[in-house]
Structure 1
Amino acid sequence: MSKDRVLIEGLTILTIIGVYDWEKTIKQKLVLDLEMQWDNIPAGKSDDVSLCLDYFQVSQSITSFVETHKFELIECVAEQVAELIIQQFSVKWLKVKVSKPGAIANAKNVAVIIERSRDRK
Structure 2
Amino acid sequence: MKKASKDRVLIEGLTVLTTIGVYDWEKTIKQKLIVDLEMAWDNQPAGSSDDVSLCLDYFLVSQAITTFIENSQFELIESVAEQVAELIIQQFSVDWLKVKVSKPSAIVNASNVAVVIERSKV
Normalising by structure 1, what TM-score?
Answer: 0.98
1:110 paired residue among 109, 113, 118: 113
The answer to whether the aligner puts 1:64 opposite 2:56 as a matched pair is no
Q: Which residue does the alignment assign to 2:25? A: 22
Q: How far, CA to CA, are the matches of 1:106 and 1:62 in structure 2?
A: 28
Q: How far, CA to CA, are the matches of 2:23 and 2:105 in structure 1?
A: 15
Q: What is the CA-CA distance between 1:102 and the residue it aligns to?
A: 1.7
Alignment of 1:23-62 (within 5 A): 23-62=26-65
**Equivalences, count:** 119
Letter in 1 for 2:59: F
Q: What is the CA-CA distance between 1:85 and the residue it aligns to?
A: 0.1
SS of residue matched to 1:86: helix
Identity %: 81
Normalising by structure 2, what TM-score?
Answer: 0.97
SS of residue matched to 2:110: coil
Query: Structure 1: which 5+ residue stretches go unaligned?
Result: none
Displaced runs of 4 or more, over 3 A? none
Q: What is the CA-CA distance between 1:63 and the residue it aligns to?
A: 0.1
Q: How far, CA to CA, are the matches of 1:105 and 1:46 in structure 2?
A: 49
SS of residue matched to 2:90: helix
SS of residue matched to 1:102: coil
Q: Which residue does the alignment assign to 1:88? A: 91
2:103 paired residue among 91, 100, 105: 100
